[in-house]
Amino acid sequence: MGKDWDSGSTHPDHGVSDRLEALVASGELKPDQAQRAMAARFDRLLVELHAQRPARKSSALGWLFASRKPETVSAPKGLYIFGGVGRGKTMLMDMFFEQARVKRKRRAHFHEFMADVHDRIHKHRQKLKAGETKQADPVPPVAESLIEEARLLCFDEFSVTDIADAMILSRLFSELFRRGCILVATSNVEPDNLYKDGLNRGLFLPFVDLLKQYVEIVPLDSLTDYRLEKDSGLPVFRYPLGPEADMAMDAAWRRETAGKTVAPATISFRGRKIAVPQAAGRIARFSFADLCERPLGAADYLEILAHYDTLFVDHVPLLGAEKRNETKRFINLVDTIYDHRARLFASAAAAPESLLVTRKGTEGFEFDRTVSRLIEIRSTEYLADHKARYITDVTKA
C-alpha cells in the first residue's frame, strides 16, 4: 500500500475556518454562524487526518495471504453533512478537500463514483469468465483497487435512487471502511431518508447503519440559499411551453451552432446505442422524452456529457405522480449537467420551482436541489466556470 500522508504538501497550514473567514473579510461571503460551526468540524477532522501515521507498505510476501480477510485499518470518523440546498455544504467540503494533506484522495459526484464501481465489477466478471481470476466475488477486489487509489473519498450531493447502487452499497462500504476509507459527503437528505420508498429498501438499510458507525452525521442549518442570490436571469430556461418558447430555443440553437454542421449522432455505450437527435461539435439537442422517458441512468448521462458540454432539452413537462421514473431521471440529468459545469438550454411547462406537481418521498427532497441547480446554472458565475473549464479542456486536448 502506498504512502497516504503528504509530508511535502504545499498547502498552507490553515484550516477551513481560516479560509472561510478570509472570504468573509474580503466581502465575497456573508458571515454565517452555521457555516463557521461546520468549518470548525472540518478543522477537527483535518487535525485527526494529519495526525495519523502513514500506512505501512504491503509485505513482499503479501500475495501468500491474499485470500485472507484484510485486517481492519483504524481511521478517523468521516462526516456526512445534510441540509437544504445552497447552504454552503459543497463549498466547505471543497475547502476541506484542498487542505487535506493526503495523497490518495478523490472528490467525485456520487453517481459518477458508482458508475466507476459498476464498470470495475463488470471488468472483474469478464476476467472471471476468461479464467484470469478465481475470485468469484468482485466486491473485495474492487474495494481494494478503490482504496489503493483513494483513502479519502469526498462525495458531493450524496443520494441513492438506483436499485443497483442501493443493493451494493452496504457490501462495498463494509470492505472500504475495513480498509481504512474515510468518507466525507454532502446531501440534502438525512441518512434515514436515503432511498426512501425505494424498491427492496430493506436490503439497503444495513448501509444506513454502517454509515452511522463510520461517519459523523451533522446538519447544516444555514437559513439562506446563497444560490438564489446569484440568479442573473439569463435566458437559458424558457417557460411556459408554446410557440414563443420554441422560437426562443430555435434562435438560441441557431446562434450556438452557427458555422457548425448539424446532424444526428450516436453514442456507443456498454453495448447499447444512445441516439442524439441533433449534434454540432460539442453541442447536442434532445427532447425531455429522449433523455427522461427512456431507460437511461446516471452513467448514460455521464457518457453524454463526455461528448457534449452544452445540452438543449426541449419540452420539460409538469412532473406529477404518474411521472415518478421520469422525475428521477430528470434529477439525475440536472445533477450530471451541474457537476460537469455543462451549459443547459431548456424549455419547460413552468418555472423550476413549479415543475414538481406532487412532492412525495425521496423525489420531494431531491427536487429542491434540482430547483436550486437549475437556478444556479443561469448565473454568470456558473457560465464563467463553464467557459474556464471548457477552455482548459480544449488546451489539454
For 111-146, write each residue's pLDDT tens digit.
Answer: 889 989 999 999 999 999 999 989 999 999 999 999
More confident residue, 157 or 48: 48
Based on the domain organization, do 388 and 328 belong to the same domain?
Answer: yes
Q: Look at residue 63 and tell me if it is in a domain.
A: no
Q: Can you give the pLDDT at residue 225?
A: 59
149's grid cell: 487509489
Quote the domain boundaries for residue 134: 16-55+68-219
Based on the domain organization, do 205 and 239 belong to the same domain?
Answer: no
Share of the chain above pLDDT 70, in %: 85
| 173, 182 contact by CB (below 8 A) | no
Q: Which of 33-47, 73-87, 255-269 has the lowest mean pLDDT?
A: 73-87
Query: What is the C-alpha radius of gyration for the chain, rounded to an integer number of angstroms?
Result: 22
Identify the domain boundary among 219, 236, 259: 219
Q: pTM of the full predicted structure? A: 0.62
Based on the domain organization, do 274 and 175 belong to the same domain?
Answer: no
Q: Look at residue 8 and tell me if it is in a domain.
A: no
Based on the domain organization, do 29 and 175 belong to the same domain?
Answer: yes
Identify the domain boundary among 188, 219, 250: 219
89's grid cell: 455544504
Based on the domain organization, do 243 and 295 belong to the same domain?
Answer: yes
Q: State pLDDT tens for residues 146-164.
A: 999 999 999 988 888 888 8
Based on the domain organization, do 236 and 381 belong to the same domain?
Answer: yes
Q: State pLDDT tens for residues 311-341.
A: 999 999 999 989 989 999 999 999 999 989 9
Based on the domain organization, do 208 and 295 belong to the same domain?
Answer: no
Q: Look at residue 284 and tell me if it is in a domain.
A: yes
Identify the domain boundary among 185, 219, 253: 219
Residues 6+ apart with CB under 8 A from 394: none
Based on the domain organization, do 47 and 187 belong to the same domain?
Answer: yes
Strands 263-269 and 272-280: antiparallel
Q: Can you give the pLDDT at residue 70?
A: 55
> In this model, does residue 74 exceed pLDDT 70?
yes
Share of the chain above pLDDT 90, in %: 53
Q: Can you give the pLDDT at residue 63?
A: 40
Residues 6+ apart with CB under 8 A from 186: 81, 82, 89, 90, 93, 155, 156, 157, 158
**Burial readout 205-223 (b: 16 or more C-beta within 10 A, e: otherwise):** eebbebbeebbeebebebe
Based on the domain organization, do 211 and 306 belong to the same domain?
Answer: no
Q: State pLDDT tens for residues 214-260.
A: 999 998 876 565 655 554 445 578 889 999 899 989 988 998 898 88
Based on the domain organization, do 189 and 232 belong to the same domain?
Answer: no
> In this model, does residue 6 exceed pLDDT 80?
no
Q: Can you give the pLDDT at residue 307?
A: 96
Q: How many domains does the chain have?
A: 2
Based on the domain organization, do 240 and 268 belong to the same domain?
Answer: yes
Q: What is the mean pLDDT of the chain?
A: 85
Q: Look at residue 11 and tell me if it is in a domain.
A: no
Q: What number is the average pLDDT over the span 266-276?
A: 93
Q: Can you give the pLDDT at residue 220?
A: 84
Q: CA angle, 335 as apex, 372 and 111 as ends, to 5°?
A: 145
> In this model, does residue 390 exceed pLDDT 80?
no
> In this model, does residue 83 exceed pLDDT 90?
no
110-129 vs 324-339: helix axis angle to the nearest 10?
100
Task: Assign residue 119 the CATH number of its domain.
Answer: 3.40.50.300
Which helix (H) or strand (E) is 105 found in, with range? Answer: strand 105-109
173's grid cell: 462500504
Strands 283-287 and 310-316: parallel
Q: What is the DSSP letter of 319?
A: B
> In this model, does residue 393 exceed pLDDT 90?
no
